Amino acid sequence: MGINIQVVMTYFDVTRFCNFTVLGYISTRLLVGIIFLSGACLPTSVVLGEPILDERSKGITGRIVASRAGRISTQVPGLVKSMKVWVGQRIERGDVLAILDTSQLEQDLVVLRSELDVAQARATVSMSEQALAKNIFERQKNLKQSAAFNKSRYDDAFLSLQIAIANRAQAAAEVERRKANLKRKELDIKLSTIRAAYGGIVRRLSAQEGSFVTEEEPHILDMIDDTSFEIEIDIPVQQSDEFLSAQEFSFHVNGRKLGQARVRTLLPEVNRRTQTRPIRLIPLDASLISKLGLGQDVMVYWRSS
């Protein structure tokens, strides 16, 4: 039994595309064989062993992509003390990926705590000074109706009270500033343990034990979420509306149909060179592509209305 060859065109389209009038006398199967062997006008994709679809069916080559992938970076600079993962390892959300050296941060923390103690002591002193200035002012105020009242002393007491109030406010603000610095340093220590934001596979390490990560080069590793693969195809701009109006999509690998898919989104970008737009599809059963490789080619078929 011969092998059927399915091209991403109908046979009528192939005949018009090649513009070989003499080929009208050759059988359709022989025509496709000549085109395939000569390479004179190869189509976008050829699928072996796939049943021939009717002329309203169309197909295009797509590829497996990850819906979530990226670089994991540190929020604080520092020396990489230890890497807890390796390339190809599966990790879960919250797993420790790397630990930075925190010895300098811990020393800074000791200094900040002592500075906070000093600031709190000054705030206590300023509170006492304000209370004393207030008592002196109240005594001068109570002498207003007596012969012992002295306007100059009253004014001095009032000014001393205002200065004491301002000093207490300044001391309280300094305490809050020291507390904020302390919390920020404690957060830096916490962030020195780098954890996975989502589950997936470690794709590449950008840092090793003993290397130094900086604000300019903060990358630790690259990872992909292998539980949410999608299919991406590049559809010609003029066909995007027709494609989106289709109701059924099937995807095939190595000539074998794996299942149905649906459109998730039309990405808002156009390749000016090829005049195509990327479209993302997700399978109705995610397990059907969970074992396929990232970047693997798939065929997507749909029926035009």
What's the CATH code of the domain at 84? Answer: 2.40.50.100
Q: Could you please report the per-residue DSSP string of 246-281?
A: -S-EEEEETTEEEEEEEEEEE-S--BTTTTEEEEEE
Query: How far apart, in whole angstroms, are the C-alpha atoms of residue 259 and residue 165?
Result: 76
**Structural domain contains residue 137:** yes
Residue 301's domain is classified under what CATH number?
2.40.30.170
- In this predicted model, what pLDDT tens digit does every residue of 16-34 receive, in sequence order? 444 444 444 444 445 445 4
For residue 134, is it within any domain? Answer: yes
- State whether 232 and 156 are in the same domain: no
The answer to whether residues 62 and 116 belong to one domain is: no
Q: So what's the pLDDT on residue 304?
A: 67
Q: Which of 191, 210, 241 is the last residue of a domain?
A: 191
- In the chain, the percentage of residues whose pLDDT exceeds 70 is 81
Q: When comparing pLDDT for 193 and 243, which is higher?
A: 193
Q: Is the pLDDT of residue 41 over 60?
A: no
Hey, which residues does 221 pair with through a beta bridge?
A: 72, 205
Residues 86 and 12 in one domain: no
**Which of 172, 191, 210 marks a domain boundary?**
191
pTM of the model: 0.64
- Give the contacts of 90 (CB within 8 A, at least 6 positions apart): 199, 200, 201, 226
- At 239 the pLDDT is 84
Residue 147 is predicted with a pLDDT of: 86
Range of the domain at 26: 1-52
Q: What are phi and psi of 25, to 5 degrees?
A: -95, -5
CB neighbours of residue 35 within 10 Å: 21
According to DSSP, the residues that pair with 193 across neighbouring strands are 99
User: What pLDDT, on the 0 to 100 scale, is given for residue 18?
Assistant: 43
Q: Distances from the Cα of 194 to the Cαs of 206, 221, 224, in angstroms?
A: 14, 11, 16
H or E segment and range at residue 65: strand 57-66
On whether both 15 and 59 belong to a single domain, the answer is no
pLDDT at 24: 44
| Selection from 83-87, 144-148, 225-229 with the highest mean pLDDT | 83-87
3-class DSSP assignment, residue 227: coil
User: DSSP per residue over 69-111, as a string?
Assistant: EEEEE-SS-EEEEEE---TT-EE-TT-EEEEE--HHHHHHHHH
Secondary structure (3-state) at 288: helix
Summarised one tens digit per residue, pLDDT across range 130-162 is 999 999 999 999 998 888 889 999 999 999 999
Same-domain pairing of 305 and 292: yes
Reported confidence tier of residue 82, pLDDT bands at 50, 70, 90: very high
Residue 46 has pLDDT above 60, yes or no: no
Phi/psi for 119 (5° steps) reads -65, -40
Length of the chain: 305
Kindly state the tokens that stand for 135.
Answer: 């008592």
Number of structural domains (the chain) is 4
Distance between CA 177 and CA 194 in Å, rounded? 27
Read off the pLDDT band of 286 (50, 70, 90): confident
pLDDT of amino acid 38: 43
What is the predicted pLDDT for the residue at 255? Answer: 86
Residue 223 in domain? no
pLDDT above 70 (res 234): yes
Q: What does the alpha-carbon distance between residue 131 and residue 161 come to, in Å, rounded to a whole number?
A: 8
Q: Are 212 and 82 in a shared domain? A: yes
Q: What is the pLDDT of residues 236-277, one digit of tens each?
A: 998 888 888 887 889 999 888 989 999 988 888 899 999 999
CA pair distance 137, 132, nearest whole angstrom = 9
Q: Is residue 253 part of a domain?
A: yes
Look at residue 42 and tell me whether its pLDDT is greater than 70. Answer: no
Confidence category of residue 75, pLDDT binned at 50, 70, 90: very high
Q: Where is 235: in which H helix or E strand?
A: strand 229-236
- Phi/psi at 219 (5° precision): -75, 135
- The mean pLDDT of the chain is 83
Q: Are residues 83 and 211 in the same domain?
A: yes
Sheet holding 219-224, edge to edge: 69-73, 219-224, 200-205, 90-91
Q: Which residue has the tokens 């404690």?
A: 186
State the pLDDT confidence band at 58, using cuts at 50, 70 and 90.
Answer: confident
The model's confidence at residue 55, banded by pLDDT at 50, 70 and 90, is: low
Report pLDDT digits (tens) over 99-112: 999 999 999 999 99
